[in-house]
Each structure stands twice: as structure tokens, then as C-alpha cells.
A = this chain, B = another copy of it.
């Protein structure tokens, strides 16, 4: 069982700062994360075919396997900005490198916010000057500067032997399974090489951020990176990966719970699938279904919607007669038909902050869990009014 620090702390040698540099009217819009020494690093990026300029640059940067700093702005995502966008992403890396005293090739750049708007690079270049003098050890400071429609900053940390792992993320909308689905940075003082980090990060993301969906829309900017500066020395690799996975899953839950307009975290646990891909596709289909999401918002045990959502996975092996479903422990489907349950009890269960929908397919040993949230008027409010300019 992984336990998390309260409040979250940084590993040795990591600090951060955040500022308002004029992209937003008042709120923090630029965060800088720095390690005292070079880090072994790995990253995964969105698979969207219209990646933002920072993603194109980031793929190039991470090939080196070494990072010293991460610079992130919110408000403008630098996506759909053509060749100029790439030039501005490079200028952003160079500005951070100058401030920190390193090479631009060791700075990972992320931008999040509105798409199709030119990045105000001068504001960032001017605004970053002096940030190195404000670097501090509180991860919440950096988490604040990367928020868009998040309602709260997101940071976690835990210990593995002498080492610490710290997660900082932002989420909220345009979050889809299939790839990293938001901005998440993992910092550790454990000593691990870049290729080990890469393999561990991919496995951890596959069962956490890749199983997270707020709205089925896949962002053009999503990034998950890990930086290890080694100041705590070697760690037990298995223990490290267990903690890395647990914390990344926990962060996926935190992001889902804070999905735009969300009032509930929905966890869909599928077991007994014939194969892993079936378990994953059923879990994602149910967590993504607008009718299931509104069912949770309305606290109504409409079990037919659950069967509909399972049944729309045309590629998955499903035998209605073997399908059972539980909502927070109450069996609502038995053998593919409505179970014998007390409506009022399930209504009460659906009002819980966390709604776990457990689906047993009865066909094999494969399992998967997906993370999502309910669909409310708050989502419509935010997105019908989230103006592009």
C-alpha cells in the first residue's frame, strides 16, 4: 500500500517557481521546475495527429535522455500555429535555459490552453527573468502555475527507501484514453537511467493516465515526463515501479475527479474478460458513455445504460448470460438481466463521491480499470463559454 505525504514535498535537489507573466489577467501562468543537477529523463506524448509545437520539440528534446528543467505556460497551448509555433517553443526553451544556466536541449517545454492562438513569447521571455531567484521547495507553487480549468492544484509525493517521488499535474478537460491525456511531471531523486525510466513510465501510464477519460477528446498537448536526478542514490527497482504506478494511478483519479463540471469520480473495474484488450475497451466504453455519465450525475440506477455501454464494444467477447454488474457493491445486473436490488440503496450509493462500477464478464482472467467522471451542466457551462479568443 503506497502512502502519500501530507503535504506533498519535493525530492532532494528539485525546486520550482511560478509567476503571472501576463498571459492571464492575474492568475499564475508560468511555472519553472528545476533540478540542481542534470537528470536522467523520459517522456510520453499525445498521439493526436495535430500535436502542438511543444510536443514536436519535446519529442526531439527527450531523445537526449537528459533534462535539467521543465518550463510550462498555461492559457495558450501553441497548437495549430505552424512553423512560427516551433520557433516560439524553441525560444521558450532558450529563455528557461538562460535563466537556469543550462542548454536549451535540456529543457522540456509544455504549453496548455487555447488552441490556434499565437504564443505571446515576448511576455514569457521577459516574464521569466529573475524566476531562478524565486525557486522554492514547495511543489504546490509549480502546480498552481500550470492550471487551466482545474479547480485545484494537483501534487502528490511518496517515499521509496531513501528516495522521494513527486507528481505534479493538471487535467480537467480534453482528456481521453489512448494517451497521456494531460500534463504530468514526475520528479525523483532515485538514481535510475533514462531507458529504465522510459520503460517504467510507459507501463505506469498504461494502467493509469491511458485509462483516464473526461470527455473522450484527446488533447493535442498531453505530456507525461519523469526526471530522476539520482541524489538519493540507487533504489530497489521493483519497489520504485510499484510506487510510481500507484502514484500515477492516484493522480489519474485526482484528475478525473476534477474533470470539468464533475461531482463524482467514476471507476470502472472490469474483470473476467477473455483478454486484456477486451477488459480495457469495455472499461473505457462504460466510463466514456454519456448516458452512464449522466446516470451518475442524476444518481439513478439505470442498469440498462450499463448493459448498452458494455454491448457497444463490438470487438470485445461478451456473453450477456455471464455478465454481472455491481455499483459500489450492490449487484444491479445478474446474468445479463436487471438484478433484484433495492432502488433506494443504489440511489444512495450513486451519491457517493466515488462511484465504482464493477463488471464481471465471466469469460477469462483479464482485468482493467478505467477512470472518469460524471457529465453535468458544469461541463456544458465551461465548454460552451470557453472562448477561443
Q: Answer whether residue A49 sits at the interface, using C-beta atoms and an 8 A cutoff.
A: yes
Number of chain copies forming the complex: 2
Chain B residue, CB-CB nearest to A381: B377
User: Could you say which residues of chain B place their CB within 8 Å of the CB of A290?
Assistant: 215-217, 290, 379, 383
Known contacts A116-B337, A337-B82, A388-B304; is-contact A314 B377 (Cβ 8 Å): no
Among A101-109, A159-167, A266-274, A305-313, the stretch in contact with B: A305-313
A12 → chain B closest CB, angstroms: 38
Among A24-32, A232-240, A294-302, the stretch in contact with B: A294-302
Q: Answer whether residue A242 sits at the interface, using C-beta atoms and an 8 A cutoff.
A: no
A375 touching B380, Cβ below 8 Å: yes
A113 → chain B closest CB, angstroms: 10
- 1/0 per position for A63-92, CB-CB distance to B under 8 A? 000000000000001011110000000000
A81 → chain B closest CB, angstroms: 6
User: Could you say which residues of chain B place their CB within 8 Å of the CB of A387?
Assistant: 298, 300, 302
A311 touching B48, Cβ below 8 Å: yes
B308 touching A219, Cβ below 8 Å: yes
A354 → chain B closest CB, angstroms: 18
Q: Answer whether residue A22 sits at the interface, using C-beta atoms and an 8 A cutoff.
A: no
User: Could you say which residues of chain B place their CB within 8 Å of the CB of A48?
Assistant: 308, 311-312
A114 touching B302, Cβ below 8 Å: yes
A209 → chain B closest CB, angstroms: 16
Q: Interface residue count for A (Cβ, 8 Å)?
A: 69
A8 → chain B closest CB, angstroms: 31
Instruction: Pick the most buried of A50, A79, A297, A338: most chain B CB atoms within 10 A of its CB.
Output: A50
A217 touching B115, Cβ below 8 Å: no
- 1/0 per position for A369-389, CB-CB distance to B under 8 A? 000000111011101111111
B218 touching A311, Cβ below 8 Å: yes
A115 touching B305, Cβ below 8 Å: yes
Among A170-178, A187-195, A196-204, A248-256, the stretch in contact with B: A170-178
Q: Which residues of A, 327-356, contact B by the 8 Å Cβ criterion?
A: 333, 335-338, 343
A220 → chain B closest CB, angstroms: 5
User: Could you say which residues of chain B place their CB within 8 Å of the CB of A289?
Assistant: 216-217
B377 touching A117, Cβ below 8 Å: no
Chain B residue, CB-CB nearest to A49: B311
B384 touching A297, Cβ below 8 Å: yes
- Known pairs A48-B311, A50-B308, A217-B308; list 7 more (Cβ under 8 Å): A49-B316, A79-B307, A80-B337, A174-B291, A220-B304, A295-B383, A298-B386
Q: List 12 A-B contacts (CB under 8 A).
A: A80-B336, A114-B304, A116-B303, A116-B304, A117-B338, A176-B312, A294-B383, A295-B383, A298-B385, A301-B388, A302-B386, A377-B377
